[in-house]
Amino acid sequence: MPTNQVPAHVAASPADHRRLGRELKLFTTEPMVGAGLPLWLPDGAVIRAELERLAAEEAVRGGCQRVFTPVLAKRELFERSGHWDKFSEDMFPPMKVGEEEFVLRPANCPHHALVYASEQRSFRDLPVRLAELGSMFRSELSGVLGGLSRVRQINLDDTHVFCAPEQVRGEIRRGVESVRRCYELLGISVTRYRLSRRGGGDGYLGATGLWADAERQLAAALTELGIDYEDAPGEAAFYGPKIDVQVTDPAGREETLSTVQLDFNQPERFGLGFIGSDGARHRPVMIHRGVLSAMERIVAFLIEQYEGAFPPWLAPVQVLVLPVGDDHAERALAVADQLRASGLRAGCDPADATLGARIRRAVKVPYVAVIGDREVASGLVALRLRDGRQISGVGLPQLISEISQQVSARSIKLGDIG
Ligand code: TSB
Ligand code: ZN
C-alpha cells in the first residue's frame, strides 16, 4: 500500500506534488522501504535523468571535473571533517564491520576533499572544481518527510571548488551565475537570496574572524552581481556561511533550493594545500555549490510549478500517438516507432476508449498525434498541442525535426509547428 496518500487538507492544492506524483506515476513510497526514501517510477526517472544530464552539462561547461565517490566511509573521515562533532544528530548511526565502523555520509564534501588531496596541487592547477551527483544520507525526523521535498537519501547536484583566496569572489559569482542560468532555463523565479550567517552557540567550527571575512566575501560577490539579499543570522552551515537561493511553492511555502557556501574549515581539517607562485605551501579555500540542488527537491518543485505539464525536454512522454479506431492501430504503432527511432519519447494509446476520452487523458502530454482514415491515406498526422493548437496534415519528418529542436534547446514553449 503506497504511503504517499495525501492528507485531505494538503491535497486541496491541485499542484501538490505528492498528489500529482501519484496520479502521474512519477514516484511512490513504501512502508517496507521507509519514509523519506522514495521509489522513482519510470516516468519520474525520465525527469530526473534529464535534470541530471543538465546538471552534468552545466558543471562541465563551467570547468568542473566529474568524480564518483562512495556513499559511505569510516567514521574517522567524518571525525576529521567535523561532521561527527557538529552534525551527528542528523547522521544515521554507524555500522560495524569487523573492528571498523562505517558511516553513511551526510555530505559529499569530505570525500571530495580527499580527491583534491590525492595529488600535489600547484597554484597553476587552481581552481579545482569537482562535481558529482552524489548521494548523501540524513536522518531527518519522520514527521517532516513528505513526498520528495525532504528525504533521507538526498541525491545532490554537488560541486566542491578548491581555490586560492584571491579566486574566492570570482568562484562565488560563477556559482550564482550557474544557478541563474539553470533557473532561466527551467523558468524558476527566485523569491530571495539569503545570506546565511553564523549565529550564537557552539554549533560552528573555526574562529569568528575567519567567519566575518567569509561573510563579507559572500556579500561582496552578491553586490558585484547586483543581487539584493536578506541577512539570515543562524542559518549558516556548521563549517561556513552560505548564499541560499530561496524559492516558494504554489502553496506559499518558502524553501532553499540552490546554495553556494564558503568554507575555510574543512581545508584546514584535511590539511589541504597547494604550492604558490612563491614556492611555499598555501591553504586553498573550499566552495560548496549545489546548483540544481537535490534531485528530489527540484523535481518536487518542478512538478508543482508546471502542474505536471512539463516542457517537452522533461516530459516523460513527448508525443502520444492516438489511433482513432482499431483500423488505424497499425499505422499509429509505426508512427510511434519512427518517433522513438528518432530519439523522441513516444507512446501509443490504443483505441480502448473514445478519442475524446484519450485526448483528455493525455492532457499533460506536449504533443498528441491523431491518426484516422485521412492520416492513414496521406501518411501525415493531425497534431494537437497541449496549449490547444491543432494542426492538420503534418508530415513526420517535419514533426520530428521541430520537436527535436525544441527538446535540444530545452525550450519551455511548445514552439511553432507547421
Ligand atoms: C552543497 N555540503 C553542501 C554541498 O556541497 C551541502 O550538503 N549543503 S546543504 O546541506 O545545504 O544541502 C544542499 C541542498 O540540498 C540544500 O540547499 C537543499 O536544497 C537540499 N537538501 C538538504 N537537505 C535535504 C533533504 N533532507 N531533502 C531534500 N533536499 C535537501
Ligand atoms: Zn559540501
| The C-alpha cell that represents 231 in the structure block | 541577512
Strand duo 390-394 + 72-74: pairing: unpaired
Per-residue pLDDT, averaged over 66-90, amounts to 97
Q: How far apart are the first and last CA of the chain?
A: 46
Q: Percent of the chain beyond pLDDT 70?
A: 97
| The C-alpha cell that represents 88 in the structure block | 551527528
* 3-class SS letters over 32-101: CCCCCCCEECHHHHHHHHHHHHHHHHHHHHCCCEECCCCCEEEHHHHHHHCHHHHCHHHCCCCEEECCEE
Higher pLDDT, 283 or 351: 283
The yes-or-no verdict on residue 24 having pLDDT over 90 is: yes
How many residues comprise the chain?
Answer: 418
Check if 179 has its Cβ closer than 6 Å to any atom of ligand 1. Answer: no
Ligand approaching nearest to the C-alpha of 266 = 2
Distance from the alpha carbon of residue 351 to the mean position of ligand 1, in angstroms: 46
Summarised one tens digit per residue, pLDDT across range 191-221 is 999 999 999 998 999 988 899 999 999 999 9
pLDDT at 378: 97
Q: Percent of the chain beyond pLDDT 90?
A: 92
pLDDT tier at 2, thresholds 50, 70, 90? very low
Element (H, E) at 178: helix 168-186
Phi, psi of 123 (to 5 degrees): -60, -25
pLDDT at 142: 80
Summarised one tens digit per residue, pLDDT across range 101-142 is 999 999 999 999 999 999 999 999 999 999 999 999 999 988
Query: What region, left, alpha or beta, does residue 199 occupy, with left being phi > 0 and alpha being psi -120 to 50 degrees?
Result: beta
The yes-or-no verdict on residue 3 having pLDDT over 50 is: no
In 327-372, where does DSSP find H-type helix? 329-341, 355-361
pLDDT at 6: 46
Summarised one tens digit per residue, pLDDT across range 31-60 is 999 999 999 999 999 999 999 999 999 999
Summarised one tens digit per residue, pLDDT across range 139-173 is 998 877 879 999 999 999 999 999 999 999 999 99
Pocket test residue of 17, 193, 259 for ligand 1, highest count of atoms within 8 A of CB: 259
Cβ-contact 313, 406 below 8 angstroms: yes
Cβ-contact 378, 391 below 8 angstroms: no
pLDDT tier at 4, thresholds 50, 70, 90? very low
pLDDT at 417: 77
The yes-or-no verdict on residue 5 having pLDDT over 80 is: no
The yes-or-no verdict on residue 189 having pLDDT over 70 is: yes
Cβ-contact 329, 373 below 8 angstroms: no
pLDDT at 12: 56
Per-residue pLDDT, averaged over 11-32, amounts to 89
Check if 235 has its Cβ closer than 6 Å to any atom of ligand 1. Answer: no
Cβ-contact 366, 346 below 8 angstroms: no
Indicate which residue's Cα is closest to atom 19 of ligand 1: 257
Residue 285 DSSP one-character state: E
Rounded to whole angstroms, the Cα distance separating 327 from 344 reads 25
For the chain, count helices (H), then strands (E).
14, 20
Q: Which residue type, as a one-letter code, is found at position 34?
A: G
pLDDT at 10: 47
Summarised one tens digit per residue, pLDDT across range 215-273 is 999 999 999 999 999 999 999 999 999 999 999 998 899 999 999 999 999 999 999 99
Summarised one tens digit per residue, pLDDT across range 329-363 is 999 999 999 999 999 999 999 989 999 999 999 99
In 261-328, where does DSSP find H-type helix? 265-269, 295-306
Distance from the alpha carbon of residue 347 to the mean position of ligand 1, in angstroms: 35
Looking at ligand 1, which atom is closest to the CA of residue 296? Answer: 28
Pocket test residue of 154, 246, 291 for ligand 1, highest count of atoms within 8 A of CB: 154
Q: What's the pTM value of the predicted model, to 2 decimals?
A: 0.95
pLDDT at 233: 96
